[in-house]
Amino acid sequence: MGKYTVRVATGDLFLAGSPNQVQLWLVGEHGEADLGKQLPPLCGKGEFEIDVPLHLGRLLMVKLRKHAVLLSVDWFCKWIAVQGPGTQGEAFFPCYRWVQGHRIICLPEGTARTLSDDPQNLFKKYREQELEERRKVYRWGSWKNGLILPIAGNSQLDLPRDERFLEDKDLDFSVSLAKALKDMTIKGTLDIINCVKGLEDFKKIFPRGKTALAEQVHDSWKNDAFFGYQFLNGANPMLLRRSSRLPARLVLPPGMEDLKTQLEKELQAGSLFEVDFSLLDGVKPNVIIFKQQYVAAPLVMLKLQPDGRLLPMVIQLQPPRYGRAPPLLFLPSDPPMAWLLAKIWVRSSDFQLHQLQSHLLRGHLIAEVIAVATMRSLPSLHPIYKLLIPHFRYTMAINTLARSRLVSKCGIFDLVVSTGSGGHVDILQRATACLTYRSLCPPDDLADRGLLGVKSSLYGQDAIRLWGIISRYVEGMVGLFYKSDQAVKDDLELQAWCREMTETGLQTAQDRGFPISLESRAQLCHFVTMCTFTCTGQHASNHLGQLDWYSCIPNGPSTMRKPPPISKDVTEKDIVDSLPNLHQARMQKTITDFLSRRQPVMVALGQHEEKYFSGPEPQAVLRQFREELAAMDKEIEVRNAVLDLPYEYLRPSMIENSVTI
């Protein structure tokens, strides 16, 4: 018994407060005290003192309930802190959620606890009730067959309130999208009089890139070294791999002996690389306003020079067909327009696999599965929940928007992308079928692709460095709560979480290397590091490059309006007629600029302000994480300062703490 000081923190945004009164209870080891209805949590922090005539002992949780006389107004509660008998200084009760309706909400004290950390089962009932409620609110949906599962819901309003954009994000997204579409409409009216006779006309109509690098892309996109560089450090660094043999599909027609000799020489030297777009083979192309669009499935062979440049050696635009003559091979020595058109076809194919496989599937959709599985399987007391929850912010919301406006019927893909109107779903299904656990873990993925130690792969170096920092952060936290491998095996909530993710969310992905159970601390750390990296670095490295590399339309055409060339007799007009028309180009530029602009409402990696963990040790681990991130950021800044083409997409200060756009 004694005097307690209670502090109540409301969200910082305008709509976070509520005029409804809030009733509070203090729940201790030895009893529970009803503190009655307290100040309505209008805004900021409220504080009150109260005498409690009971001996509560150590405080375990705070319970709260909103009372509405006329109108129930949701309240965003950040946290509650209590000082008094049994609090050892100050007891902190994290919330960071919306309090809706009149239900009683339980907020356990912030110390992370696995089931085995609660031998008296003081929280067991609470954990079970919380998960029972979460499984009703966070339900798996289904978008298309053969894909990993999304959250149920067709719009943000269908989502749990805690998953929707807060008003600052909502305002920024809506206003900037409306402005982008308005500008597109206004500029688009001029397109009626604009005509694109030559490639230079594209530059006149779309003059300025939004970044220094985008400007360089406008100037240098035709250059072979620039073309090769993109597979290392461009918008999509996920497809390049070192050749272990000449690809079977690369059928060399008679007269190409020199090329064969060169390829074999590079192969023997270990400097032969390839990018194979076979996943696109046979995808049904879109028809846009009654006009057939076209898709190819190229193969590019490249050689890594001693100076680090990656130069294309040959492009095969389509795989060989049984019973037909071998496909034409395009070479750097071909007539310039023919070679340029072949490269443009590769760029358009890269746009398709980048946006659908590397960005949407391996970034957005995997992050969503991690988020939904966690909300359905781990209580808020669980250390892994506390570790991961900051990396789920807005992911379900942005993905629901993508499913309703980007890859939906009559969405952006249908309007301006050559794989729209169903081809994009086919590609997602194919990409899902070959999605492996190793491919989501840079140390394994880069090893498998033969990119470890390739100095000119700045993506590779930064991805390995960031993976290491995240891995140490995860190990630091896991080490606080799991003292043995057996403790991991015995954690039934953890095992249910892993199974829910692999078997349900990822749709029996154990066939592709994903774990169905966690047998050791090392395996747990690897899995949680993959989750964290996917929600942060993987998405950023495949999201941020759009602004630089796709604002020059010929460098990333969202569609192609003529079939791939079958001869080398190519004119500039053939190229212009193949590229997106002005309307399509303007829409592509509008959407990719809008999506990849630097977000004003942004939390950088590791910089979340929510305090989910109580206690000095987790805070120390988080502090160390932030210090390592800051060191990496500074070193990348110094490195980039002397580079003609700086690589920024894995700079910690540029990486969002979750997938929000």
- Annotated binding residues, written as ranges, equal 17, 74, 359, 364, 539, 661
Pattern 326-365, ligand LE2OU67V, x by CB under 6 A: -----------------------------x---xx---x-
Closest distance to ligand LE2OU67V from the beta carbon of 586 (Å): 13
Question: What part of residues 160-199 is at the interface with ligand LE2OU67V (CB under 6 A)?
Answer: 177, 181
d(CA 351, CA 546): 10
398 binds ligand LE2OU67V (CB under 6 A): yes
418 binds ligand LE2OU67V (CB under 6 A): no
d(CA 264, CA 247): 11
Of 23-31, 89-97, 401-409, 482-490: span binding ligand LE2OU67V (CB under 6 A): 401-409
Structure tokens at 409: 């019927």
Backbone angles phi, psi at 588, to 5 degrees: -60, -45
Closest distance to ligand LE2OU67V from the beta carbon of 221 (Å): 18
140: DSSP letter: B
Amino acid at 585: A
d(CA 564, CA 136): 50
| Residue 401 binds which entry of ligand LE2OU67V, Fe ion, none, CB below 5-8 Å type-dependent | ligand LE2OU67V
Of 429-437, 472-480, 505-513, 587-595: span binding ligand LE2OU67V (CB under 6 A): 587-595
Rounding to the nearest 10 degrees, give the CA dihedral for residues 654, 655, 659, 661.
Answer: 10
Question: What are the angstrom distances between the C-alpha of 264 and each of 247, 260, 313, 362?
Answer: 11, 6, 12, 33
Q: Which residue has the tokens 């979750």?
A: 658
Backbone angles phi, psi at 46, to 5 degrees: -115, 150
Closest distance to Fe ion from the beta carbon of 540 (Å): 9
380 binds ligand LE2OU67V (CB under 6 A): no
Q: Which residue has the tokens 């023997």?
A: 268
Which helix (H) or strand (E) element contains residue 27?
Answer: strand 21-28
Segment 319-323 long-range contacts (CB within 8 Å, at least 24 positions apart):
319/249, 319/278, 319/281, 320/249, 320/251
| Residue 360 binds which entry of ligand LE2OU67V, Fe ion, none, CB below 5-8 Å type-dependent | ligand LE2OU67V
Cβ-based nearer residue to ligand LE2OU67V, 147 or 452: 147
Residues in the chain: 661
151 binds ligand LE2OU67V (CB under 6 A): no
Which residues are part of a known binding site for Fe cation?
Answer: 359, 364, 539, 661
Of 11-19, 60-68, 266-274, 400-408: span binding ligand LE2OU67V (CB under 6 A): 400-408
Spatial strand order in the sheet of 45-52: 45-52, 2-10, 75-83, 91-99
658: DSSP letter: S
Question: What are the angstrom distances between the C-alpha of 248 and each of 148, 251, 299, 319, 349?
Answer: 31, 7, 11, 10, 20
Pattern 75-114, ligand LE2OU67V, x by CB under 6 A: ----------------------------------------
Closest distance to Fe ion from the beta carbon of 534 (Å): 12
Pattern 595-614, ligand LE2OU67V, x by CB under 6 A: x-------------------
Q: Which residues bind ligand LE2OU67V (CB under 6 A)?
A: 177, 181, 355, 359-360, 364, 398, 401-402, 405-406, 412, 543, 591-592, 595, 661
